[in-house]
Structures are given as structure tokens and as C-alpha cells.
Amino acid sequence: MKTIEQTTDEILNLAATHFKFPRAELQAGDDFYKKLGIDSLQALELLTRLENHFGVELPDYEVQGVSNFHTLAERIQARL
Amino acid sequence: MDEYKGKTLSWRLADGVVELGLNLAPANEIGFAMLEDLERFASSLPTLESKASALIVYSEQKAGFSAGADLRELYEQARKMDSPSAAKGVREFLERIHAVLNRLDTSSLTTIAAVHGVCFGGGFELALACDLIVADKMARFCFPELRLGLIPGFGGIPRLKRDIGNAVVRDLLLTGRSINATKALSVGLVSQVAAEGEALRLARSTAAQTTKFDRTTAAAAKRFIKPLPAEELRREIDIFCELFARPAVMDGLRKFVENAGPHPYLP
């Protein structure tokens, strides 16, 4: 079982790699819409990448209103 | 016409396979322009069917296969009219898109949707008219219509119900949630999942296989296994038009259109 810290770290690594953003500048509490400068379609793409990476389903309504990495990690953690 | 390039799509016949590429920025929204091109394609189908074995429908847009109906156009058109005129216009649009999708659905060609990225609403309904759906692992399927106080209007429910279990149909429809390609494969919606960016290649390989078979036999098999749910498709148009006539729908459309933030409008 992954810890919340491990899950968060994997999300940050994945976001940094995919959106070509310096990993060192990403923090768990960051608003990923603002920090990565992404729109709703790119957020959907991130959601799909996270589902594929962690092997979980994340229904849209569970992540609706979620905009920081830590809360995203909690939603994923609940399904691991 | 073996080859055509329109404002929103193009097609080309080569080696017994027709490739229909959707290409309208940003995400192949289906409005009047795409409907007219799709009608042109449908009217060319008899000629193409006499020369080809398979058809691949794919997107040339990075965002995905199609984000669905052009809701901005729908809202802009409807708000200029009184309610009865708007309802009449919507019905006419639906009758036309149903005619195109029914023709595609019953084509004697083996039809394959090669899906990547968003495959939402009307785009999902276009894919469902095809015989097979091949999706890359970043594809996402969704019927978001209930969020706007509507049901899918391009034949989505009857076609989805024809293909997969009713419980999954209800889950997708009543929650409006989106599912990825892996989930779509597990429920039988998608026949093959490709690596990222490889859906078209996989669809081409599948299409090439179908060119080996006798066309009369393949068409007979398709007629037997894939009946058109004609009555339910008619009912869907009626229900959509009844729902569309309510003020709440225009209000939902307005909020969707006016939403300028990065967060999607999700009531």
C-alpha cells in the first residue's frame, strides 16, 4: 500500500514529465490549473494519465472542484 | 467521389479502405458545417460501398475524436428565435444527423472508429454508429448531456443499449461521468485498445483484415448482428425535443457557453 506522500510524489512526477514543467517547482498544495497553466481538456488528459498510471477509476464527480495535487492524491489513495 | 476535402472533414479511398478524417478545430464539434459535410459523405456511400470493404472514421484534431454537438452554435441559433421556432430547428437538425448516422450504421462496409482523446456526446454517438471502436489508451468516452438537462440526441442511448449492458448505459447516462479506454474495453464498448497515438494504425490493420473477406457475406453478417433500433431512435428525437423546450435547458446552455474559466462547467 502506497502512502499518501508516495502517491502525491508520483502525481507530481507524472505532471512534471507530461507538461514539461520543472519537478522541483511543483508542490503538493499547488493549484494545478494555475501552476501548469492547463485548461479543462488538459485536466481531463491528466485524469486519464493518472487512471492509467495507478490503475484506478476516477469518476469526474469525485474530482470535480479538486484543483490541488494533494487532494487529488487523497482521491486516488481512496481507490488504491 | 473517391476523394473529397471539405471544410470540416476529408475522405480518401485506397486499397479497399475509405478513411474519413474529421478535422474541425478545436475538437470536431458537430454543428451545421460538419453536418453538411457528413451528409455529403453519406450521399457518396453507395459509390464507396461498391469499391471498398471497410471505412475508418478518425480525427485529425489533437484534442480527440470529437467533443460532440456544437453547443455554442446551438445556443446562439436558439437564443435568436422564439421557443417554438428553436424547437423546430432542433428537430430538423436531429432528423438530418439521424439520417446520416443511420446510413453509416447500416452501411455494407465494415466500419471502424479510431478514437483518441475526447469522445463525448455527439462524437461518442458518431463512434457508436460504427461497427467497431478501436481506442488509444488516452481516449475518454462520456455522455454529458444530463448536465445540461438533455439526453443524448444523435442516437446514443439506443445504440449504446444495443451494444452493452443496460447497467453500464445507466451509469454513463445518469451520472454523466467519463470513462477511459481500459474501462470501455472491459465493458465491451471498445474492441481493441492501442498505445497512445496508435489507434489509427491499429484501425488500418483491422480494416486490411476485413478486405480479405467476401463483401456479400460480410454485409449479410452485419445485417444479421447489427439491426438498427429504428423505433427507439425515433423516440429519442421526440424526448430530446420535449426536454429542449424547457427554459432550464437554455439556461444550462448559456452557463456552459459563458464559462470562461479553466474549470469545466459541471452543474
The DSSP code for A18 is H
Q: How many CB pairs lie under 8 A apart between chains A and B?
A: 49
Q: Is B125 a catalytic residue?
A: yes
* The pLDDT of residue A69: 94
Chain A residues touching residue B175 (CB < 8 angstroms):
59, 61
Subunit contact B138:A48, Cβ cutoff 8 A: yes
pLDDT (mean) for A12-23:
94
Interface residue A44 vs chain B (CB under 8 A): yes
Residue A79: which residues within 8 A CB-CB, separation 6 or more?
A54, A56, A57, A58
CATH classification number, A4-77, choose in 3.30.450.20, 3.10.310.10, 1.10.1200.10, 3.40.50.620? 1.10.1200.10
pLDDT digits (tens, 9 = 90+) for B19-62: 999 999 999 999 999 999 999 999 999 999 999 999 999 999 99
* The pLDDT of residue A41: 86
Please state, in angstroms and rounded to a whole number, the distance separating the CA atoms of residues A40 and B144.
Answer: 14
* The pLDDT of residue B267: 45
pLDDT (mean) for A24-43:
91
Interface residue A19 vs chain B (CB under 8 A): no
Taken in order of first residue, the domains within chain B and their CATH numbers are 3-198+214-258 (3.90.226.10)
Find the residue in A nearest to B266 (Cα). Answer: A64
Chain A residues touching residue B117 (CB < 8 angstroms):
41, 45
* The pLDDT of residue B160: 96
Query: In chain B, which among 89-118 make CB contacts under 8 A with chain A?
Result: 117-118
Listing DSSP states for A45-80 in one string gives HHHHHHHHHHT----HHHHTT--BHHHHHHHHHTT-
Q: Which of B39, B125, B196, B232 is catalytic?
A: B125
* The pLDDT of residue B256: 85
Find the residue in A nearest to B66 (Cα). Answer: A41
Q: What is the predicted ipTM?
A: 0.89
* The pLDDT of residue B264: 55
pTM, two decimal places: 0.94
Mean pLDDT per 10-residue interval, chain B, length 267 residues: 94 97 96 98 97 98 95 90 87 97 98 97 98 97 93 96 94 95 97 97 97 95 96 97 91 84 54
* The pLDDT of residue B261: 64
